[in-house]
């Protein structure tokens, strides 16, 4: 798949970082079937050399969400299948094994917010706004938002967004945990790449454990969660890479925390 070419995604390798752009700016990166298929194909089988992915949108918006033109005439069963395809796709984004850093700007709405909240680290520019216009459109979320968005901002706030269609700006989104870094205009992509390069320098097994274990542990009882945590600790701390990294620190050869 690493050699596959995409019509609606740009893919560029920068060392160990795969920079992937939603490339449908004339439709504000609205997600139609061909685009979701390409996102699914990429994240199900990312390039072999990639250790981290940066996801961004071409043009002034990250994504206007579901392509409403395509969705108009679907029957219930088709919508069910379509929603489950989005679930599979965003599962690959969240738990495919590679950390994903997103660079957000302009509209991050509806399915665009569902996609963004499947990524692990989110960097926003001042132009970013977040909205869930499903209430206005007479539909419901279908790309995992009722789970992922609600876990970040709370089900109550999500209900308010869906009922009122209210858009939160970049500053507000930062306060709500929708972004982790708020940078200047035009700076989200370079900052996302910088963070991705830092993440790429981590032990791959630890990155894998972070993105796969933490959301699952959040779903577990306390006892199960603590047991799963110990298993992940046992797996990561006994790896040769961990031993080398800990020795390097003790010999004064590794960066200190926070640097
Ligand atoms: C679209 C879409 C779209 C733009 N589906 N075609 N999402 C929404 O309800 C958001 C709808 N979009 C907007 O509110 C605005 O387009 C934006 C605020 C994102 C951007 O505004 P603007 O002025 O920059 O662009 P525009 O002129 O509105 O749109 C440019 C073109 O993109 C135009 O097409 P054109 O052929 O007339 O040039 C628009 O029709 C098209 N376009 N957004 C289809 N979403 C799995 S369930 C998920 C549920 C949801 O995602 S609901 C939220 C849907």
pLDDT digits (tens, 9 = 90+) for 189-234: 999 999 999 999 999 999 999 999 999 999 999 999 999 999 999 9
Sign of CA dihedral 210, 212, 213, 216: positive
pLDDT score of 139: 95
Pairwise CA distance, residues 228 & 80, whole Å:
32
Sequence ranges of the domains in the chain: 3-200, 204-258
Q: Which is the closest atom of ligand 1 to the Cα of 143?
A: 46
Q: What is the pLDDT of residues 109-141, one digit of tens each?
A: 999 999 999 999 999 999 999 999 999 999 999
Helix (H) or strand (E) holding 235: helix 222-237
User: Among 87, 79, 92, 78, which residue's Cα sits nearest to residue 41?
Assistant: 92
> Into which CATH architecture does domain 204-258 fall?
Orthogonal Bundle (1.10)
Is pLDDT of 49 > 60? yes
CA-nearest residue for atom 53, ligand 1, is 110
Tell me the fold of 3-200. 2-enoyl-CoA Hydratase; Chain A, domain 1 (3.90.226)
Is pLDDT of 2 > 70? no
Q: What is the pLDDT of residues 165-189, one digit of tens each?
A: 999 999 999 999 999 999 999 999 9
**What amino acid positions are annotated as catalytic residues?**
114, 134
Q: What is the mean pLDDT of residues 83-87?
A: 98
Pocket test for ligand 1, best of 28, 73, 135 (most atoms within 8 A of CB): 28
Pocket test for ligand 1, best of 30, 86, 116 (most atoms within 8 A of CB): 30
Instruction: Spell 166-200 as b/e; 16+ CB within 10 A means b.
Output: ebbebeebbebebbebbbeeebbbebbbbbbbebb
Domains 3-200 and 204-258 share a fold: no
Q: How far is CA 106 from CA 73, 141, 247, in A?
A: 28, 20, 45
* Six token digits for residue 214: 């933490």
CA-nearest residue for atom 41, ligand 1, is 27
Pairwise CA distance, residues 247 & 197, whole Å:
23
ipTM of the predicted structure?
Answer: 0.99
Residues with CB under 6 A from ligand 1: 27-28, 30, 61, 64-69, 83, 86, 107, 109-111, 133-134, 137, 139, 141-143
Average pLDDT, the chain: 96
Q: What is the mean pLDDT of residues 235-251?
A: 91
Q: What is the pLDDT of residues 91-101, one digit of tens each?
A: 999 999 999 99
CA of 23 to the centre of ligand 1 (A): 14
CA of 110 to the centre of ligand 1 (A): 10
* Six token digits for residue 237: 């701390």
Is pLDDT of 62 > 90? yes
């Amino acid at each position: 798949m690493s050699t596959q070419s995409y019509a609606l995604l740009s893919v560029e390798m920068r060392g160990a970082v795969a920079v992937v752009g939603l490339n449908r700016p004339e439709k504000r990166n609205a997600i139609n079937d061909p685009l979701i298929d390409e996102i699914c194909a990429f994240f199900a089988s990312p390039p072999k050399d990639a250790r981290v992915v940066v996801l961004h949108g071409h043009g002034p918006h990250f994504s206007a969400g579901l392509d409403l033109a395509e969705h108009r005439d679907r029957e219930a069963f088709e919508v069910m299948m379509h929603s489950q395809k989005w679930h599979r796709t965003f599962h690959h984004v969240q738990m495919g094994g590679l950390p994903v850093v997103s660079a957000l700007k302009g509209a991050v709405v509806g399915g665009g917010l569902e996609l963004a909240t499947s990524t692990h680290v989110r960097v926003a520019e001042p132009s970013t706004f977040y909205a869930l216009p499903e209430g206005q459109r007479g539909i419901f979320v279908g790309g995992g938002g009722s789970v992922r968005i609600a876990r970040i901002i709370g089900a109550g706030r999500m209900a308010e967004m869906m009922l009122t269609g209210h858009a939160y700006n970049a500053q507000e989104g930062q306060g709500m945990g929708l972004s982790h870094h708020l940078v200047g205009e035009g700076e989200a992509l370079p900052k996302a790449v910088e963070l991705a390069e830092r993440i790429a320098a981590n032990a791959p097994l630890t990155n894998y454990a972070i993105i796969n274990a933490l959301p699952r542990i959040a779903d577990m009882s306390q006892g199960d969660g603590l047991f799963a945590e110990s298993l992940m600790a046992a797996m990561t701390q006994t790896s040769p890479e961990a031993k080398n990294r800990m020795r390097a620190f003790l010999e004064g050869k590794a960066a200190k925390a926070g640097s």
